[in-house]
């Protein structure tokens, strides 16, 4: 592998700028003549906008303009769209309510913008916003699934009777009914998957700069996928044709899904920049992030699992209500359907599965993909179900899982996915060994003698990553292909630039992507640069989410490298008067195998660009590009086991140990992979113990700052013990499965299984706060 | 408007600001020291942590005027030229950062933590002391590791001085 090649824990190239304060985030950028936007947002969950009086604000110092929803609609800026079409079981298309970038008539969640002040400074914009008077007529609101589906409930959108987005089904209902008819045991479970706020540490920000002479826009924005942003802004929101819109996503301070989407603030900044003729900057504060960044999760589910007399699973029946919030965000429709229900087989042989998912509108912030996106909800359901079943059937939870593990691959589940490879026994073995599962009973007894309740919880997760084979997702309703593109430029002096459509917002691409080049060419990573995040530089790209950047993005780089290497070998062979087939690349040199003849990469590159002596008919230059479309999803899987201790007098949970055994296929940089797992685990544990985006019955958010919403902090979490088992992914040449979401997908169930084991009661909702745990312990 | 005079990263500066200007705004907007970040506006996340007269303080909670006459160190002033501060080096070597947004505040807090504890740190103390800094990427695992590593390095550096 070499010291900087594949498999080496190389320290990150990008770190120097971050640790010295030289990172360049959107809010750090200042443009000449820049103005500042401040949005006026609805304080009501549901209201009619009767009028907006900006006359006083317009007279205030430094105010450039006050613009409203009617104007943006009149200027024909398009409504926000959801780009994945889902069809209900009755054959009807999903019901998409109109979502203008600022509300001209009706607001449907607290925080929805109705107007924007543009001023000479942030403070002046904020001052003037205070002077804008909006006349609202309050309407009754629905704040949760139960209220939304009640007959006679207030209605959000004329397009969606009964507040229903869709009623979608997957699987064979008759086969499932048959399985339950012959079952020896049936296990039932009701659970809620709590709503979360993504909370990347960098608040969203956008700077729009319109050049009237060129009729050209530049948008600096906090995006995980700048090319997708340009595509959507051009094709659907009528901002500008693609060649007149450059989108730059520089350093981005975390995303976790929330920065995939194109938000109203970006659209308004672009539109306003043209109207006022100056650059417009908007940077959200944390409360705006809570109110407007797409939330995650929020499911209410009833599930039943049928077992035969030998505790083998016969079937699974699931009914889930998914809360979409007030509008359908960009990829929201796919999350509780194709990213959720297709993973309901978990790591298990389940002959029959049927799931029904009903999507509903509520007067809350829109919900979309948040780290894991549908797969944490599936994993939580399946793994809570396995634990519940083990308790009901009185078998060891590890044994019940082992009895039902899939062991033959490829394995076709009844819910679309074809698992390509895996070894679920191996990861469970590794996790059980790491936590000394056999010694748990003795530890539990000792804790009991000290007045503490000790519990252990398992979670054997699987996810579908490497998103995604374009043809497959197209057949399921996706509006885009999910391939990735890359370009390899060898400069005339032999340095290398890799241009990628993936976007790094913490994942370390500037290091790991160089490692592939170092591995193949034997050059130091200091000789390689990664270029990303700018639609004017990179040919195209679908961005970073769904644990796709290594499995899809890096494979695209590999494909471009192969093309470049093939040409370079021809040039080397020509220069060395050898056969192309005899050329091998080692330590930055092209060598004639079995001889001492060689030519260094810079000389090959120089030859390519001077073009004085190239093989006949060869084009000058050494630059190649590739588009790579995966043939299947990848299937990272693993086993997490958590041992906790609950203090019955306070309900407080303390971690004793948390072990993770993951199978991600090939690891490029184990240090970075482990960092990804740590972060994912923290988010999964945060969901289980601390985090909850709460609305009152009127749709008022009551957790809209870090004072109210409990973010995991250093003293809430343990150190993690990680290990890896490996089955290489057969679907891509590098054997990579992806690692970005696993922790968030697998951790929650392990924690709740452990707490419910400790307290001896199975019904416990997330987040398992001390108050909730104490009440559960002491409930009659 | 008021004139605020202070020393920032060893340089004397004098800035005319609106009275309501926060220290973090003075640093970011007036001095272009954008390494100090704003993550929450409610003094919870610690991304804005700087040193005022050697003590870690959240600069989103201090009016620029309150810092008049004091000496400020920001993340940009922590390294000695090309030589990284041991805390910066430890964060890099232990993969103590991912997106980098909380990192400047984490590093400034961590330097203060090590100083206050005289290098006598264990994991539980570090976790407790980091309570005022939020990171969404790392799960804190490698941040804790970085701080413990740096505590050792700072002790060695101190002994050598």
State the Cα–Cα distance between residues A30 and A121, nearest whole angstrom: 12
Residue A32: pLDDT over 60: yes
| Contact status of A15 with chain B (Cβ, < 8 Å) | yes
State the Cα–Cα distance between residues A582 and A596, nearest whole angstrom: 12
Backbone angles phi, psi at A179, to 5 degrees: -65, -45
Same domain assignment for residues A47 and A111: yes
Same domain assignment for residues A502 and A600: yes
The answer to whether the Cβ–Cβ distance between A23 and B75 falls below 8 Å is no
Q: Quickly state the pLDDT bin for B157 (edges 50, 70, 90).
A: confident
Residues in chain B closer than 8 A to A28 (CB atoms): 28, 34
Same domain assignment for residues A525 and A410: no
Determine, yes or no, domain membership for A149.
no
Pairing of the two strands A411-412 and A245-248:
unpaired
The answer to whether the Cβ–Cβ distance between B84 and A27 falls below 8 Å is no
- Contact present, A537 and A625 (Cβ < 8 Å): no
ipTM, two decimals, is 0.98
Residue A507: pLDDT over 70: yes
Same domain assignment for residues A342 and A457: yes
State the Cα–Cα distance between residues A701 and A109, nearest whole angstrom: 9
Among A469, A451, A418, smallest CA distance to A732 is for: A469
Those residues with Cβ within 8 angstroms of residue A624's Cβ, 6 or more apart along the chain or in another chain: A487, A488, A560, A561, A563, A564, A567
Determine, yes or no, domain membership for A334.
yes
Q: Which residue of B has its CA nearest to A676?
A: B138
- Contact present, A528 and A516 (Cβ < 8 Å): no
| Contact status of A133 with chain B (Cβ, < 8 Å) | no
Superfamily of domain covering B86-160: [2Fe-2S]-binding domain (1.10.150.120)
| Contact status of A19 with chain B (Cβ, < 8 Å) | yes
Residues in chain B closer than 8 A to A717 (CB atoms): 127, 139-141
Q: Give the residue ranges of DSSP H helices in A199-327.
A: 226-235, 264-276, 286-292
Residue A579: pLDDT over 70: yes
Find residues 201-220 of chain A whose CB sits inside 8 Å of chain B: 201-203
Residues in chain A closer than 8 A to B141 (CB atoms): 675, 678, 717, 719-720
Final residue belonging to a domain, choices A588, A613, A628: A628
State the Cα–Cα distance between residues A261 and A223, nearest whole angstrom: 8
Q: Quickly state the pLDDT bin for B80 (edges 50, 70, 90).
A: very high
The answer to whether the Cβ–Cβ distance between A200 and B136 falls below 8 Å is yes
Positions of E strands within A445-570:
453-462, 484-490, 496-500, 528-531
State the Cα–Cα distance between residues B107 and B78, nearest whole angstrom: 9
The answer to whether the Cβ–Cβ distance between B84 and A20 falls below 8 Å is yes
Q: List, for residues A618-653, the tens digit of each pLDDT value.
A: 999 999 999 999 999 999 999 999 999 999 999 999
The answer to whether the Cβ–Cβ distance between B98 and A506 falls below 8 Å is yes
Among A764, A744, A589, A709, smallest CA distance to A256 is for: A744
How many domains does chain A fold into?
3
CATH number at residue A490: 3.30.365.10
Q: List, for residues A37-75, the tens digit of each pLDDT value.
A: 999 999 999 999 999 999 999 999 999 999 999 999 999
Same domain assignment for residues A431 and A330: yes
Q: How many other C-beta atoms are found inside a 10 Å radius of the C-beta of residue A42?
A: 21
* CA trace torsion A755, A760, A761, A766 (10° rounding): 0
* Through-space distance between the first and last CA atoms of chain B, rounded to whole angstroms: 44
Those residues with Cβ within 8 angstroms of residue A262's Cβ, 6 or more apart along the chain or in another chain: A80, A228, A229, A232, A233, A237, A330
Q: For position B161, what pLDDT does the model report?
A: 66
A576/chain B closest Cα distance in angstroms? 42
- Omega cis (within 30) before A410: yes
**R_g (Cα) of chain B, nearest Å:** 15
CATH number at residue A232: 3.90.1170.50
Positions of E strands within A57-201:
63-68, 106-107, 113-119, 133-138, 164-171, 185-193
Find residues 263-292 of chain A whose CB sits inside 8 Å of chain B: 285-287
Of A675, A680, A715, the CB nearest to B128: A715
Find residues 54-73 of chain B whose CB sits inside 8 Å of chain A: none
Residues in chain B closer than 8 A to A291 (CB atoms): none
Q: List, for residues A643-680, the tens digit of each pLDDT value.
A: 999 999 999 999 999 999 999 999 999 999 999 999 99
Pairing of the two strands A280-283 and A205-211:
antiparallel
Residue A780: pLDDT over 80: no
Same domain assignment for residues A729 and A772: yes
Determine, yes or no, domain membership for A373.
yes
Residues in chain B closer than 8 A to A705 (CB atoms): 40-42, 44
The answer to whether the Cβ–Cβ distance between B100 and A22 falls below 8 Å is no
Q: How many other C-beta atoms are found inside a 10 Å radius of the C-beta of residue A461?
A: 33
Same domain assignment for residues A361 and A399: yes
Domain B2-77 class, CATH top level = alpha beta
A588 by Cβ neighbours in 10 Å (0-12 / 13-18 / 19+) ranks as middle
Final residue belonging to a domain, choices A628, A650, A677: A628
Same domain assignment for residues A116 and A263: yes
Residue A192: pLDDT over 70: yes
Same domain assignment for residues A638 and A701: yes
Determine, yes or no, domain membership for A489.
yes
State the Cα–Cα distance between residues A5 and A17, nearest whole angstrom: 23
Same domain assignment for residues A231 and A359: no
Q: List, for residues A361-411, the tens digit of each pLDDT value.
A: 999 999 999 999 999 999 999 999 999 999 999 999 999 999 999 999 999
Residue B159: pLDDT over 90: no
* CA trace torsion A120, A123, A125, A128 (10° rounding): -120
How many CB pairs lie under 8 A apart between chains A and B? 179
State the Cα–Cα distance between residues A291 and A36, nearest whole angstrom: 20
The answer to whether the Cβ–Cβ distance between B136 and A715 falls below 8 Å is no
Q: For position B156, what pLDDT does the model report?
A: 77
Q: List, for residues A78-126, the tens digit of each pLDDT value.
A: 999 999 999 999 999 999 999 999 999 999 999 999 999 999 999 999 9
Element (H, E) at A384: helix A375-393
| Contact status of A17 with chain B (Cβ, < 8 Å) | yes
Element (H, E) at A149: helix A145-149
The answer to whether the Cβ–Cβ distance between A671 and B75 falls below 8 Å is no
Q: List, for residues B11-57, the tens digit of each pLDDT value.
A: 999 999 999 999 999 999 999 999 999 999 899 999 999 999 999 99
A426/chain B closest Cα distance in angstroms? 25
Residue A418 is classified by DSSP as E
Those residues with Cβ within 8 angstroms of residue A210's Cβ, 6 or more apart along the chain or in another chain: A216, A217, A270, A273, A274, A277, A279
Q: Quickly state the pLDDT bin for A774 (edges 50, 70, 90).
A: very high
B144/chain A closest Cα distance in angstroms? 8
| Contact status of A675 with chain B (Cβ, < 8 Å) | yes
Backbone angles phi, psi at A217, to 5 degrees: -105, 145
Same domain assignment for residues A303 and A288: no
Residue A531: pLDDT over 90: yes
Determine, yes or no, domain membership for A158.
no
List chain B domain ranges.
2-77, 86-160
B16 by Cβ neighbours in 10 Å (0-12 / 13-18 / 19+) ranks as exposed
Determine, yes or no, domain membership for A432.
yes
Residues in chain A closer than 8 A to B99 (CB atoms): 200-202, 251-254, 505-506
Same domain assignment for residues A644 and A580: no
Q: Which residue of B has its CA nearest to A506?
A: B99
Determine, yes or no, domain membership for A679.
yes
The answer to whether the Cβ–Cβ distance between B40 and A706 falls below 8 Å is yes
Interaxial angle between packed helices A742-759 and A375-393, expressed in degrees from 0 to 180 and rounded to the nearest 10: 30
Of A16, A27, A714, the CB nearest to B130: A714
| Contact status of B20 with chain A (Cβ, < 8 Å) | yes
Of B92, B128, B138, the CB nearest to A678: B138
The answer to whether the Cβ–Cβ distance between B35 and A23 falls below 8 Å is yes
Find residues 108-127 of chain B whose CB sits inside 8 Å of chain A: 123-124, 126-127
* Through-space distance between the first and last CA atoms of chain A, rounded to whole angstroms: 60
Domain assignment of residue A64, given as a range: 31-139+201-254+259-292
Final residue belonging to a domain, choices A610, A628, A646: A628
């Amino acid at each position: 592998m070499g010291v900087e090649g594949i498999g080496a824990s190389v320290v990150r190239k990008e770190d120097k700028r971050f640790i010295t304060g030289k990172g360049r985030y959107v809010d750090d950028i200042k443009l000449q003549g820049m103005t500042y936007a401040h949005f006026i947002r609805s304080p009501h969950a549901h209201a009619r906008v009767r009028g907006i009086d900006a006359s006083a604000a317009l007279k205030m110092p430094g105010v450039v303009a006050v613009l409203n929803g009617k104007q943006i609609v009149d200027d024909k800026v398009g409504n926000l769209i959801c780009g994945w079409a889902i069809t209900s079981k009755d054959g009807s298309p999903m019901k998409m309510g109109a979502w203008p970038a600022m509300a001209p008539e009706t607001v449907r969640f607290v925080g929805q913008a109705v107007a924007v002040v543009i001023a000479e400074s942030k403070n002046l914009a904020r001052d003037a916003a205070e002077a804008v008077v909006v006349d609202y007529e309050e309407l009754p609101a629905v704040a949760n699934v139960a209220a939304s589906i009640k007959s006679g409930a207030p209605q959000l959108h004329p397009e969606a009777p009964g507040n229903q987005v869709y009623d979608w089904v997957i699987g064979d209902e008759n086969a499932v009914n048959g399985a339950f008819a012959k079952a020896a045991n049936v296990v039932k479970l009701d659970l809620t998957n709590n709503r979360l706020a993504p909370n990347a540490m960098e608040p969203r920000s956008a700077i729009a700069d319109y050049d009237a002479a060129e009729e050209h826009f530049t948008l600096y924005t906090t995006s995980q996928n700048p090319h997708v942003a340009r595509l959507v802004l051009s094709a659907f929101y009528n901002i500008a044709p693609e060649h007149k819109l450059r989108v730059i996503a520089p350093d981005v301070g975390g995303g976790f899904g929330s920065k995939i989407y194109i938000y109203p603030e970006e659209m308004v900044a672009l539109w306003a920049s043209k109207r006022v003729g100056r650059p417009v900057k908007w940077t959200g504060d944390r409360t705006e992030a809570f109110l407007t960044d797409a939330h995650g999760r929020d499911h209410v589910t009833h599930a039943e699992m049928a077992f035969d007399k030998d505790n083998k699973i016969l079937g699974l029946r699931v009914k889930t209500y998914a809360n979409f919030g007030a509008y359908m965000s960009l990829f929201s429709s796919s999350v509780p359907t194709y990213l959720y229900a297709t993973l309901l087989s978990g790591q298990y042989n389940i002959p029959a599965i049927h799931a029904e998912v009903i999507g509903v509108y509520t007067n809350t912030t829109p919900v979309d993909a948040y780290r894991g996106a549908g797969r944490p909800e599936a994993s939580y359901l399946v793994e809570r179900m396995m634990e519940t079943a083990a308790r009901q059937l009185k078998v060891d939870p590890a044994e019940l899982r082992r009895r039902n593990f899939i062991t033959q691959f490829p394995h076709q589940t009844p819910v679309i996915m074809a698992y390509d490879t895996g070894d679920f026994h191996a990861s469970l073995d590794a996790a059980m060994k790491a936590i000394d599962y056999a010694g748990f009973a003795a530890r539990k007894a000792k804790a009991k003698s000290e007045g503490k309740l000790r519990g252990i919880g398992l979670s054997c997760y699987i996810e579908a990553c490497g998103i995604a084979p374009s043809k497959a997702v197209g057949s399921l309703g996706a509006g885009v292909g999910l391939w990735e593109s890359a370009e390899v430029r060898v400069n005339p002096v032999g340095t290398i630039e890799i241009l990628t459509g993936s976007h790094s917002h913490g994942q370390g691409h500037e290091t790991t992507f160089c490692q592939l080049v170092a591995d193949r060419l034997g050059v130091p990573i200091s000789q390689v640069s990664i270029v990303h995040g700018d639609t004017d530089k990179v040919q195209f790209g679908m961005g970073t989410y769904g644990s796709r950047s290594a499995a899809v993005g890096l494979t695209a780089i590999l494909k471009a490298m192969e093309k470049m290497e093939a040409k370079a070998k021809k040039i080397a062979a020509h220069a060395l008067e050898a056969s192309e087939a005899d050329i091998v690349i080692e330590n930055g040199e092209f060598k004639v195998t079995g001889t001492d003849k060689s030519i260094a990469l810079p000389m090959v590159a120089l030859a390519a660009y001077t073009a004085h002596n190239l093989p006949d008919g060869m084009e000058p230059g050494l630059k190649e590009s590739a588009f790579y479309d995966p043939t299947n999803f990848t299937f990272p899987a693993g086993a997490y086991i958590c041992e906790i201790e609950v203090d019955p007098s306070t309900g407080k949970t303390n971690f004793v140990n948390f072990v993770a055994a993951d199978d991600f296929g090939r690891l490029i940089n184990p240090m970075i992979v482990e960092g990804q797992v740590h972060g994912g685990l923290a988010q999964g544990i945060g969901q289980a113990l601390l985090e909850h985006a709460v609305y009152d019955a009127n749709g008022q958010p009551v957790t809209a700052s870090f004072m109210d919403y409990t973010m995991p902090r250093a003293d809430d979490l343990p150190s993690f013990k990680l290990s890896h088992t490996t089955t290489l992914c057969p679907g891509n040449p590098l054997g990579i499965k992806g690692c970005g979401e696993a922790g968030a997908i697998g951790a929650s169930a392990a924690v709740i299984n452990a707490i419910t084991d400790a307290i001896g009661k199975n019904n416990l909702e997330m987040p398992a706060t001390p108050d909730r745990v104490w009440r559960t312990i002491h409930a009659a | 408007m008021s004139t605020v005079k202070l020393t920032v990263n060893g340089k004397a500066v004098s800035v005319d600001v609106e009275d309501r200007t926060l220290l973090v705004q003075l640093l970011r907007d007036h001095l272009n020291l954008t390494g100090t970040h704003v993550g929450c506006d409610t003094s919870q996340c610690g991304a804005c942590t700087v040193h005022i007269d050697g003590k870690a303080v959240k600069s989103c909670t201090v009016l620029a005027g309150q810092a008049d006459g004091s000496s400020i160190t920001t993340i940009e002033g922590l390294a000695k030229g090309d030589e990284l501060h041991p805390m910066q080096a430890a964060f890099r070597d232990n993969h103590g950062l991912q997106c980098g947004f909380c990192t400047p505040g984490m590093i400034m807090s961590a330097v203060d933590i090590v100083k206050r504890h005289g290098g006598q740190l264990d994991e539980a103390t570090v976790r407790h002391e980091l309570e005022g800094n939020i990171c969404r990427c790392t799960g804190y695992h490698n941040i804790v590791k970085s701080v413990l590593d740096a505590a050792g390095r700072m002790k060695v550096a101190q002994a050598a001085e």
